[in-house]
């Protein structure tokens, strides 16, 4: 595939030191920085030389064709799987450090997966309490019956924010798809993360439920000034909910632009 050519210059966010801000002006905090990132599975190269910097409170859409490596890149940034080459800094920490420091770092991050990954035989409330395991490990956070009062209150508040507090005692396997995804969002925000990752959060939902979930997800993130990175195959969602769009194609980052500078037509070359 040839390099994507846009009708207008790609608007690349400037590095904080080159923004031309007045001397003494606050410098935007960089929450995520990828430098020369590459990933291979065996002899198969997924992508290489991927670099970008994401500032605090940015909402970033990661787009590209199916199988191009969006989910793999997301997991490398999160530290779930190791990159083959390059480095990632998340919330000022090197994700490759491992050990207790890595566990503390992961506790500051929320994740919403394509599959909701709820425990079907447990209540909605217990599933949301699981979102606190990264901060408060132990058996007490496996079930609402064992959880401390403070954790139960936090989980109920998260459910209230996604409009499902009235279903707190319902078994997870009795929820609709849209309700399950809202519970997954509540689980991701209950620990009040500084960064939220979402991998195709609407992939398993019908169009209306998908719109509702994206509106809710982004409203919650912006209300708390959380940095958001979400993958999507929906061009409209990328342009409407992202402040910035990163595009993967042909094993490299082919696009890095503000959403306001792009149209749906501009993104079509990523899917050729």
Q: What is the structure's pLDDT at 26? A: 54
Mean pLDDT: which of 91-105, 159-173, 193-207 is highest? 159-173
Interstrand relation of 109-112 and 93-94 (parallel, antiparallel or unpaired): unpaired
Give the global pTM: 0.84
Q: Are 152 and 174 in contact (CB under 8 A)?
A: no
Task: State yes or no: pLDDT of 69 exceeds 80.
Answer: yes
What is the CATH classification number for the domain harbouring 46?
3.40.50.300
> What is the rounded distance in angstroms from the CA atom of residue 48 to the CA atom of residue 38?
4
Helix ranges restricted to H, 8-93: 70-78
Q: Hey, which residues does 220 pair with through a beta bridge?
A: none
Mean pLDDT: which of 23-37, 116-130, 196-210 is highest? 116-130
Nearest 5 degrees, angle CA 226-CA 240-CA 64? 90
Task: State yes or no: pLDDT of 90 exceeds 80.
Answer: yes
Average pLDDT estimate for 67-71: 93
Q: Are 62 and 13 in contact (CB under 8 A)?
A: no
17 in any annotated domain: no
Residue of 237, 246, 217 whose CA lies nearest to 110: 217
209 in any annotated domain: no
pLDDT category of residue 125 using cuts at 50, 70 and 90: very high
DSSP-derived 3-state class of residue 167: helix
**Per-residue pLDDT tens for 16-31?**
333 344 445 455 688 9
**Per-residue pLDDT tens for 141-160?**
989 999 999 999 999 999 99
Q: What is the structure's pLDDT at 101? A: 66
266 in any annotated domain: yes
126 in any annotated domain: no
Q: Are 52 and 221 in contact (CB under 8 A)?
A: no
| Order of strands across the sheet that contains 252-258 | 109-112, 195-199, 227-232, 59-63, 244-249, 252-258
What is the domain count for the chain? 1
pLDDT category of residue 15 using cuts at 50, 70 and 90: very low
Kind and range of the H or E run holding 241:
helix 235-241
Q: What percent of the chain has pLDDT over 90?
A: 60
Range of the domain at 37: 28-108+227-272
Helix%, strand%, coil% for the chain, nearest 5: 40, 25, 40
Half-sphere exposure of residue 214, counting CA atoms within 13 Å on the CB side?
Answer: 27
pLDDT category of residue 175 using cuts at 50, 70 and 90: very high
Residue of 197, 239, 196, 261 whose CA lies nearest to 6: 261
254 in any annotated domain: yes
185 in any annotated domain: no
70 in any annotated domain: yes
pLDDT category of residue 194 using cuts at 50, 70 and 90: very high
Q: Are 150 and 192 in contact (CB under 8 A)?
A: no
Task: State yes or no: pLDDT of 167 exceeds 80.
Answer: yes
63 in any annotated domain: yes
Strands (E) located in 95-139 = 109-112
Q: Are 227 and 30 in contact (CB under 8 A)?
A: no
In this structure, how many other beta carbons lie within 10 angstroms of the beta carbon of residue 58?
19
**Backbone phi and psi for residue 234, each to the nearest 5 degrees, phi listed first:** -95, 105
Integer-rounded Cα Rg, in Å, for the chain is: 19
pLDDT category of residue 83 using cuts at 50, 70 and 90: very high
């Amino acid at each position: 595939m040839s390099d994507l050519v846009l009708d207008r210059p790609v608007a690349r966010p400037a590095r904080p030191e080159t923004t031309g801000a007045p001397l003494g002006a606050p410098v935007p905090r960089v929450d995520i920085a990828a430098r020369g990132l590459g990933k291979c599975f065996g002899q198969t190269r997924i992508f290489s030389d991927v670099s970008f910097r994401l500032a605090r409170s940015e909402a970033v859409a990661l787009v590209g064709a199916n199988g191009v490596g969006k989910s793999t890149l997301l997991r490398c940034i999160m530290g779930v799987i190791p990159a083959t080459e390059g480095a990632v800094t998340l919330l000022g920490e090197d994700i490759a450090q491992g050990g207790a420091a890595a566990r503390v770092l992961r506790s500051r991050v929320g994740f919403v997966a394509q599959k909701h990954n709820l425990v079907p035989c447990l209540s909605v409330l217990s599933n949301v309490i699981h979102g606190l395991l990264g901060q408060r490990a132990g058996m007490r956070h496996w079930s609402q019956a064992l959880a401390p009062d403070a954790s139960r209150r936090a989980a109920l508040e998260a459910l209230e924010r996604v409009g499902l507090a009235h279903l707190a005692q319902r078994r997870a396997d009795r929820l609709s798809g849209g309700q399950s995804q809202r519970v997954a969002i509540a689980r991701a925000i209950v620990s009040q993360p500084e960064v939220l990752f979402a991998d195709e959060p609407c992939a398993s939902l019908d169009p209306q439920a998908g719109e509702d979930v994206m509106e809710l997800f982004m409203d919650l993130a912006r209300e708390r000034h959380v940095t958001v990175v979400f993958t999507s195959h929906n061009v409209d969602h990328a342009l409407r909910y992202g402040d910035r769009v990163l595009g993967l194609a042909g094993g490299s980052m082919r696009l890095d632009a503000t959403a306001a500078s792009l149209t749906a037509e501009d993104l079509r070359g990523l899917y050729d």
